Amino acid sequence: MDTLLLKGKPVAEHIRQELTERIQGLKADGITPNLAAIIVGGDPASKVYVKNKARAFEKMDCDSRTYHLDKNASENEVLDLIHELNQNMEVHGILVQLPLPRHLDSKKILHTVSPQKDVDGFHPENLGLLLEGNPKFIPCTPHGILEILKYYNIPVSGRHAVIVGRSNIVGKPMFALLAQKFEMGNATVTICHTGTKDLDMHTKQADIIIAAAGSPKMIRGDMVKEGVDIIDVGINRIENDSEKGYALVGDVDTDSVMGIARSVTPVPGGVGPMTITMLLVNTVIAAENMKEFAVISH
Ligand code: GUN
């Protein structure tokens, strides 16, 4: 079987094209979608993400500002900044880059972001709306995965999706979305994690695998059935002798699934380009909602 590589770039470009019109509409009313990103400390991967976000916003004629706080910043410093950004009418979206240093209470910090500006969709109010089937902001990576499935016409309804990994960022919201009775859902969903006894038994039954465990090359060809569609969310740095000093590999051993899977997302170049695009989408939604609110309250 020829295995199709599900590249993220054409999907991202397609969505950005649609978004351009909405951004122009906002600009005509004097509104430029604006994201505030907070990064605490100097985790190299986080710095790269935040820099890429800033570049993507600039390319789309949107504003973004990154607040770099020291790795020893106190919880109050972070909370004060979030309160200030919540009040700032020129800021539409707020993102707190994860992971945060261990001395900070991530939950308390994420709960402080205004649900109206929570473009990551991590606030419990937004997670509740997602679970209810009425989302305001869909978390960016799961949303990007749905867009990849849609773009490449991968059927979801009635199929068995196995998610590997139960993170709040990917696994749990992905479960809520794929199980939901809507166009890109209505699947039977299994969620596997470190407590799962026989992972192979589950992955071998999957029609769709979402690999989001953060464990390099853990899903191999001998663990999947012929014709499976695989979404690889992992971005793991493996040290090597190259100039960069590392290579990026996914949670899937891509070479070993070639010829068995019907499709697989490459790493890099699969899910990665989608996450920032969906952040743009959510920031535009936040700006549109604020505009509507301003009209209603006048
Ligand atoms: N760290 C890794 N992925 C994400 C994400 O989607 N949002 C935030 N805020 N931090 C992350």
Taking only the tens place, the pLDDT of each residue in 14-26 is: 999 999 999 999 9
Specify whether 24 is catalytic: no
Whether 110 shows a pLDDT value over 90: the answer reads yes
Closest C-alpha residue for ligand 1 atom 1: 98
Q: Which of ligand 1's atoms lies nearest the C-alpha of 98?
A: 10
Residue 72's CB: how many other CB atoms inside 10 A?
A: 10
Residues 155 and 215 reside in one and the same domain: yes
- Residue 50 is predicted with a pLDDT of 85
- Residue 119 is predicted with a pLDDT of 98
Averaged over 264-290, what is the pLDDT?
A: 97
> Within a domain: residue 7?
no
> What tens digit of pLDDT does each residue of 169-187 get?
999 999 999 999 998 999 9
> Within a domain: residue 3?
no
Residues having CB within 6 Å of any atom of ligand 1 = 95-98, 120, 140-141, 169, 275
- Residue 292 is predicted with a pLDDT of 83
Residues 151 and 240 reside in one and the same domain: yes
> Within a domain: residue 292?
no
Averaged over 233-245, what is the pLDDT?
A: 92
Token pair recorded at residue 156:
């979801």
CA of 125 to the centre of ligand 1 (A): 18
Residues 182 and 256 reside in one and the same domain: yes
Q: Which of ligand 1's atoms lies nearest the C-alpha of 96?
A: 9
Residues 106 and 145 reside in one and the same domain: no
Residues 233 and 147 reside in one and the same domain: yes
SS3 28: helix
Banded model confidence at residue 82, pLDDT cuts 50, 70, 90: very high
CATH of the domain at 59: 3.40.50.10860
In the chain, the percentage of residues whose pLDDT exceeds 70 is 99
> Within a domain: residue 183?
yes
Please count the structural domains in the chain: 2
- Residue 264 is predicted with a pLDDT of 98
Specify whether 120 is catalytic: yes
Mutate to test the pocket of ligand 1, among 43, 48, 53, 98 (most ligand atoms within 8 A of CB): 98
Residues 266 and 145 reside in one and the same domain: yes
The answer to whether residues 57 and 35 touch, using CB atoms and an 8 Å cutoff, is yes
> Within a domain: residue 76?
yes
> Within a domain: residue 157?
yes
Averaged over 206-223, what is the pLDDT?
A: 98
> Within a domain: residue 67?
yes
Parent domain of 49: 31-115
> Within a domain: residue 125?
no
Write down which residue in 51, 82, 115 finishes a domain.
115
More confident residue, 171 or 42: 171
The catalytic position among 116, 118, 120, 232 is 120
Averaged over 280-291, what is the pLDDT?
A: 97
Banded model confidence at residue 240, pLDDT cuts 50, 70, 90: very high
Residues 146 and 226 reside in one and the same domain: yes
Cis peptide before 44 (omega within 30 of 0): no
CATH of the domain at 208: 3.40.50.720
Residues 110 and 144 reside in one and the same domain: no
Whether 296 shows a pLDDT value over 70: the answer reads no
Residues 145 and 265 reside in one and the same domain: yes
> What tens digit of pLDDT does each residue of 118-155 get?
999 999 999 999 999 999 999 999 999 999 999 999 99
Name the helix (H) or strand (E) containing 188.
strand 188-192
